[in-house]
Structure formats: C-alpha cells, structure tokens
Structure 1
Amino acid sequence: MLTISTTDIPGLLVIDLPVHGDNRGWFKENWQRQKLLAAGLPDLGPVQNNISFNASVGTTRGIHAEPWDKYVSVATGRIFGAWVDLRAGESFGTVATVELGPEKAVFVPRGVGNSFQTLEPDTAYTYLVNDHWSADAQSRYTFLNLADPTAAIAWPIPLEDAELSDKDRAHPMLADVTPMQPAPILVLGAGGQLGRALVARAEAAGIPVEAHGRDTWDMTDPTSWPREHFRGLRAVVNASAMTAVDAAETPEGRAEAWAVNATAVAELARRCADAGVPLAHVSTDYVFDGTLPVGQEHPVDHPLAPLGVYGQSKAAGETAVRTVPRHWIVRTSWVIGEGKNFVATMASLAERGVDPAVVADQHGRLTFADDLADALLHLVTTDAPTGTYHMTNSGDVVTWHDVARWVFEDTGHDASRISPVTTAEYTAGKAGIAPRPANSALVLGPLEATGFEVPDQRDRLREHLAR
C-alpha cells in the first residue's frame, strides 16, 4: 500500500511504494501523480529526470540544497540517505536519515540539503525535479560539508573510507552556511495602492518579493517582460490592472483595459501554468451587474454579468486565470490605500470647507489595501484551496454617502454638510460615465473558512484616518 510519512524536517516526506515481485524480478509504480497527490504529496510537476549510477559501495555525494523540489528514489541497489534542512528558519540544521531501496522514495523540498551513500554496488539513484538544471541555477545552491560535526551524520561507511569528490570535501561547515531564503513572490502592479501594500506587508513578514510596477513591467507588451521563465518563484500575485472605469468606455481606454486586464492576464496564466507556479489574481465586484436586492450579498459562484468594459475585461481575465492548476481569484471592492481614493478626497473636502453631494444608492463595503494584501499573502503562503474568494472588510453593508459621513465625523467635521443623491442625479448631464453596480456586497465566508480573520471596516477607517 502506498503511504506517506513525515520526518523531523518540515516538508521532507518518505513514501512507501508497493513493489510487486515474482520469479522474473519486480515492478513498481515509481511516480504515479494521481495516487501520490491523493496520499498527500505536494504536486511536484517534474520537468527533468536525472540518474546517478554508482559502481562502488561507499560512494558518497552531497550535501547539496537546490532551489527546487525533488523526488528521490532508487532503481537498483540501496543507499543510506541523509538530509539536512538548510532553509532559513527554526528548523535550520535539522537532520533526517532514511535507508532507501526500490520500496521507498523521498520528497525533498526546496532548500533541504540532499546526500547519500551507496550500500550496494551498481546502485542507480534517480530523481525528478521541478526546474531545469543550468549553470546559473547551480550558483544558487547551498552546500554543507558531509563531515559537519553539528549535523553529525552517522555514515554507515566512515567518510575516510568512502568515495568522495574533492568538491564535496571542500563544502563549508554549518556555522559558515548562509541559509537558503524562501523562493520570492512576484508582485505585479507594485506601484499602485494595493501593490505598495503587498510589498510592505510581505517585507514586514519576512517574505521575499520581486516587485514590478509599470516602469519595469509593461503588462501591455508581454514580449518586453523582464522575466520570461517563472520557475523558481513561490507564486505570482497580480495586482496590476487598468482600473479607470470611465476611461475604459472610450476607444483608447477600451483597448488598454482589454490589453491589461485580459490579454496580459492570459499570457501571465500561460506562463504560470507552464512553470507550475501558483497565481493569485485580484478581480472586482464590477464582474457583477449589481442587481441583487439590497440586503443580499454576491456568493463567489454568482453568475458574471458585467455592465461595462472594465468589468467585462476583468471577467475575461478571471477566465484565463482558471486555467492555472493552482490559482486564487480574489474579488474586492471600494479599495482604500495610500494615495488618491474616495476617503482621501472626502477628508480633503471636509478640511477645505466643501459640502459635497455623495451617492447614496450604491451599496458595499470598504476594503483597506493592507488587509487585502494580508489576505492575498495568507492564501499564497498557507496553500489555501484553489478557487475564487471575496475580500472586503467586514461590517454592515453601507453606501458611499455613509462612508463620507464617517470620514467627516472622524476628522472632526459636521457630517450633515454632506447631501445624499442618487446615481442618476449625480451623473445627470455628465458624459462618459461608466455604469456602476448598485449592489457591490460580497460574501466573505469562503475566505474566512481558510482561517483569515477579516477586520471591521469602521475600525480600519478610524485607524486609517488617524495615520
């Protein structure tokens, strides 16, 4: 029976493989993706298969930590396998050893040092990896000396009697090893409200990021993207979008909206799928027509029915993202961060003595960029189930008029200065105004079910204005 067991090293898994033998020899399914996934193995997505043939007993290789995952097994013979965690973190330096024959395999996560010693002659050691070897990739290895006294690996054959390469003998001791950092998350749209929050929250949490804004990553021209291959990334978080809702209704804006929100996303999804890299993508309430009665909220599987070009292009982008095996689509609404936004505008009007008229028949909740960034990072770093989620802050469903009153109150101004108007009254006589959903309320339950606690919008607004 195929079973998987854990070790002292987080993520290092031992797989017991059924081996069927008779008078002719034996047979095993060395790699059977469907069965291994069902048993709990991460989806490796191998792209290269390597075999190391070792003629002599005592041949010893390692300790090499590589910037990819690998699936180690033995075709013939037996080995003593030793693994040392060389990743940054609490488990750095932890050791696990397992004797491998044809009946066992080991899943070795990125950054865990791998080594073995042959126990029988003519041993064939084989491994699948989920990135292609290159000279550049080898420069990102982390090495440890086989004789390191801290790891204190109990080699069956003393190293002085074993076959080692001069290169392996020269590897550093654990005290001199620089731990391998986690693979970076690629953040696109890093110059926007959400993108800036993503980078800041990731860095505060010690999560490596590779961040690109419009100046370094032109979404409309995939041929110019500075990163052609995505292998080696932890995930991609796409916070880039053409969000000028009214401009999207013009001929030039329509072309840009489709180029950024749909065509570029399709190419992004293709590259993520090819590389086996997860994709988290930010979408919007504008994919709905907002005709749900007030008091009801859109579930994640509500039918898409966008009213304008912006929503249509974002709906098309969602369709492309769903082609990636590991993906998270996160719809949001009414985003508030650092920079130009509704809350900043209302605070400015209050301070300048302007008495605004604000729409009172569009319903939804605020979403603060820091909290949306935390939700995206939560999904990516906890391996939450693939699928579609909604993220706004929690609390009562309100109108823009309600939010404006809160801003005036929290900044010490008279909220009665704000006049409520309908959308029709507000847009009367104005050209080029895109249709807005009247109801933007989103069901938050699926996100909360992953363990993410959604902060209250009223509390977060007070904190935001206080800053």
Structure 2
Amino acid sequence: MSLEFEKELRVERTNIPGLLVFDLSVHGDNRGWFKENWQRAKMLQLGLPDFGPVQNNISFNAKRGVTRGIHAEPWDKYISIASGEIFGAWVDLRQGDTYGQVYTTRLDPSKAIYVPRGVGNSFQALVDGTVYTYLVNAHWSAEQKKNYTFVNLADPELNIAWPIPLDESERSEADLRHPMLRDAIAMTPRRTLVTGAHGQLGQAVHKYVEDHHLQGFDFADINDFDFSDAQAYKRYNWDLYGTIINAGAFTAVDKAESEQGRKSAWKANAQGPALLAKVAAAHNITLIHISSDYVFDGQVDMHDENEALAPLGVYGQTKAAGDIAVANAPRHYILRSSWVIGQGHNFVRTMIGLSNRVADPSDALDHVTVVNDQFGRLTFTEDMAEAIFHLLDCQAPYGTYNLTGAGQVQSWADIARAVFDLANGNGNAVHPVSTEAYYSGSANPVSPRPTHSALNLDKIESIGYSPRDWQKELEDYVTRLTRARR
C-alpha cells in the first residue's frame, strides 16, 4: 500500500443518503506523513453535518482478514484509518426507500467516511496491524444498546464481494449469528418529544401524528416534564431524541403583568426555552419553538422575520427572550404566529358563546363590544402542526419562519362580527370600540397590545408551504362547533 500525497480535500456522495466519503490531504516525506484527520470548518463547507462528536474509539486488528460487522448503531460515526488498509461495506438499515442499499470501498489513511445513524458498518482488515479509528456523537448506554440492529456479513442478498473470502476470515461468534436482511430489524428514527401536549397546539400535533401514523413520539405536559426546571432534564436520556417540539408556554397576556404572573411567564417562556436550547445543542437535537407577534411593537403594517424585536409588555418580553435563547441552538426552527385558534379556550369559541347568548331571548345580553384598532390574521393550530412537519420533512434551512393564515388583514371586531354571523346571523350585535375604551376602568393589570400583528408569509411560502385562507378556515371551524352544539 502506498499513500497518495498532497491531494485536495474533497467529498464523494454515495448511493446511500448521508454516507459521505472524504479524500484527505496527506503531507509526507522521508520521515512519514501528516494529515488533518477531521477538520470541522473545512468539512462543513463540503457538506459534512456538524454532528458533534463526544467520543473517539480505536480498533486494533492484529491480522489480515479480521472482519467485523455489519452493525448499525444509534449514532453518527466518522471513520478513518490510522495505519493499514480496510475493505469496508455499508448497508442502509434505516426505515425507508433505501433500506438494504449497499456501498463498498477501500479506506487507507488518505480516506475517511461519515456514516449516519442507522447505516450498518462493517470492514475487513487487508494488512496486519490495521488501526481503525472513529468518532461518535453519543455515549454508549444500556438504553442505547436496545436500538442497535445488525445484518449478516454473508447475506447473499447483499452480495458483498469480500476480498478475503469470509470462510478464511476471522469473525466473532456474535457476527456469525446476525440475521439476514429479510429478518433484520430496521433502525427507527430518533424519538420526538412534544411539550405542552394538552394545549391547543399540542393537541393539534398529537392529531397530526395519529392521522399520519407516525411513530416514536412522546407527549408531555407540565405535570410530566416541567421544561423550565433544570432538574427535570435528568430523567431523560437525550441521546435517544432527535427532535423537540416546544408547544408549551405561558399565554395569559394580562396576567403576565401581575407580580406572580410575571414570574410564571419568565419561567415558562424564557427560562424553559433556554434549557431546551441547551440540551438541544448538547445532543444534536432539532428544536422547534413557537413564537408570537407580541415580540414586536406593532408599528408597521406587516412584520417579517428580520424585524428587530421590540416587545411592549411582559408577555412579549418573555417570548422575545425565549426566541433569543432558542436561536443559540444550532438546529432550531422558530415558528412565529399570531391570534391562535385551536381545540381549547380561544377568541372564536368565546364569540360563539356570546353570539348564542345574544340569540337567546331569555338572556339579557343584546350586544358585545370588541376592539377595532388591532389588526391581524388568525392562525389555526392545524396549520401550525402541518407547517412544523413541513419544515422537518423538507429539511428547510434552520431559522425563524412566520406562519399565520393567508388572506385579508382584519380587526378583532371584524372577526367577531363574522363569527356572530356564521353562528347565528347576528353580526350587527358586535359594536366596535377602541382598545383604550375597552380596557378603561379595568381593576386588573392590562398588557399593551401591538396595533399591527400581521406577519409576512413570503419566507415559509418560499420553502413550499402554502398557508390556507384563514377566513375559509374560520367558516369551517365555526360550522363544526355549531353543528356539534345542535
């Protein structure tokens, strides 16, 4: 074996998605050679994921013909050769269309390979004293071992052309007993944790998961996992998780202005997301976090994702702080919404109830006042759930995305009038009033509201998600609720 010196660092993509082969630049002279075995910055530019290795392992293979595998472990690996040469074979054992795909190549010290989680790894030492070294991005644990999967080196379906016949090779008893591909267990994806599972968005995410028969989801509410409590994180093996959907928050806007509410809002909306971001960064987890129009002062008609944060009240301040914390997680999506409507207490349900009272001759209520100087669009939680999975499925660039319903910008009074008309045909019972007049004389603290809450949707539309018209969704929503009542 002779090394080729002074090659340019480059990457080769293979028939197995995510499996990358690197040509390394090796510098040599009469003394020996030197190489940058793993160089984060240069390799990221070539497409290596920022996989965050936490452990370095070395396998010494005393004799030519030692053969190991095929093992698929629940972590990513970066493999290189310190001395000698191997023939390597990799098999995709992940659930999906590429299950069973095989890739083979030879590796010497001038080459390396990145093996994503769930791709089975095997090799055969071609010279005595071969030293095989690899970085992994999760620590071994008994719980992790449950997620290993294997396939037999001699499976004829894989048709691997081993340079040294397997009956002449050195293999372990365990490797000899591995199942054939037809009997192997596919590697499942890392798990997803959903916080705030009982809230409006948490329920919508749960329904999406059930409707699409998705596996590997854990749903937790504050009683199961208080994500603002640092001690609660010790109960989880975070290496098992690949995604966190943070649907939990303190949303009582006016209560956030009280002494106790202020503390609760900061704990849930700022401290909690900061802890989630910390664990996401440490364990290569993708974090999805829900933001709000309240992070803006509402002085422009339409807010885009790049606008500077300028919250007016405590609730908005805590949400802005949470956004800043989450943005420190390398793999994050911040989904910014406004005027959320789902399965739970919300503005539309309240208006339906008031419309019913106005329509009831035995009830003394003959009209309601609703503010007409705050403008925006409704966001239905069903759309939010769909948008979350669209971001994940299409592997959209990480960052912040606005998501509301599409269509006309209206005031709260306009929306209330539409709800009344849809429910009972009594929209004329909605009397518009200014925000100042509505809250005048209130004995409780009142949070300042942004005048304009409409969010620009160009960015999320650019990655292929088309928000539905909120007025059509409102009609469907009210119709479902009123039919259920009757």
TM-score range, shorter chain: over 0.9
1:50-77 per-residue CA deviation (whole Å, 9 max, x = no partner) reads 1111011111111111111111111111
In 2, the alpha carbon distance for the partners of 1:297 and 1:69 equals 42
| Cα displacement (A) at 1:412 | 5.1
Corresponding residue of 1:49: 56
| Cα displacement (A) at 1:208 | 2.8
| Cα displacement (A) at 1:229 | 4.5
Please say if 1:389 is aligned against 2:431: no
In 1, the alpha carbon distance for the partners of 2:98 and 2:322 equals 39
* CA contact 1:346–1:404 (8 Å) conserved in 2: yes
Letter matched to residue 83 of structure 2: T
Cα RMSD of the aligned pairs, angstroms, is: 1.7
In 1, the alpha carbon distance for the partners of 2:136 and 2:11 equals 19
Corresponding residue of 2:70: 63
Alignment of 1:37-436 (within 5 A): 37-205=44-212, 206=214, 208-225=216-233, 227-292=235-300, 296-352=301-357, 353=359, 355-411=367-423, 413-432=425-444, 433-436=446-449
**1:194 aligned counterpart, secondary structure:** helix
In 2, the alpha carbon distance for the partners of 1:135 and 1:427 equals 58
| Cα displacement (A) at 1:216 | 0.2
* CA contact 1:394–1:457 (8 Å) conserved in 2: yes
* CA contact 1:73–1:104 (8 Å) conserved in 2: yes
* CA contact 1:12–1:107 (8 Å) conserved in 2: yes
Letter matched to residue 421 of structure 1: V
What is the TM-score of this pair, normalised by structure 1?
Answer: 0.95
**Which structure 1 residue ranges, 4+ long, deviate > 4 Å from structure 2?**
none
Deviates more, 1:144-153 or 1:205-214: 205-214
**1:452 aligned counterpart, secondary structure:** coil
Deviates more, 1:282-291 or 1:131-140: 131-140
| Cα displacement (A) at 1:79 | 0.9
Deviates more, 1:1-10 or 1:200-209: 200-209
Letter matched to residue 410 of structure 1: L
In 2, the alpha carbon distance for the partners of 1:333 and 1:227 equals 33
Letter matched to residue 313 of structure 2: G
**2:190 aligned counterpart, secondary structure:** coil
| Cα displacement (A) at 1:86 | 0.9
Aligned length: 464
Please say if 1:18 is aligned against 2:31: no
Change (3 A) 1:31 1:310: same
Corresponding residue of 2:484: none
| Cα displacement (A) at 1:222 | 2.4
Q: Which runs of 5+ in 2 are unaligned?
A: 1-7, 360-364, 481-486
**1:379 aligned counterpart, secondary structure:** helix
In 1, the alpha carbon distance for the partners of 2:423 and 2:242 equals 41
Aligned-residue identity in percent: 52
Letter matched to residue 240 of structure 1: G
What is the TM-score of this pair, normalised by structure 2?
Answer: 0.91
| Cα displacement (A) at 1:286 | 0.8
1:61-101 per-residue CA deviation (whole Å, 9 max, x = no partner) reads 11111111111111111111111111111111111111111
* CA contact 1:220–1:256 (8 Å) conserved in 2: no
Deviates more, 1:233-242 or 1:198-207: 198-207
1:231-250 per-residue CA deviation (whole Å, 9 max, x = no partner) reads 23212221111111111111
Q: Which runs of 5+ in 1 are unaligned?
A: none
**1:458 aligned counterpart, secondary structure:** helix
Letter matched to residue 205 of structure 2: L
Letter matched to residue 364 of structure 1: G
**2:299 aligned counterpart, secondary structure:** coil
Change (3 A) 1:88 1:157: same
Corresponding residue of 2:5: none
**2:241 aligned counterpart, secondary structure:** coil
Corresponding residue of 2:463: 450
In 1, the alpha carbon distance for the partners of 2:395 and 2:24 equals 26
In 2, the alpha carbon distance for the partners of 1:226 and 1:398 equals 46
| Cα displacement (A) at 1:207 | 5.3
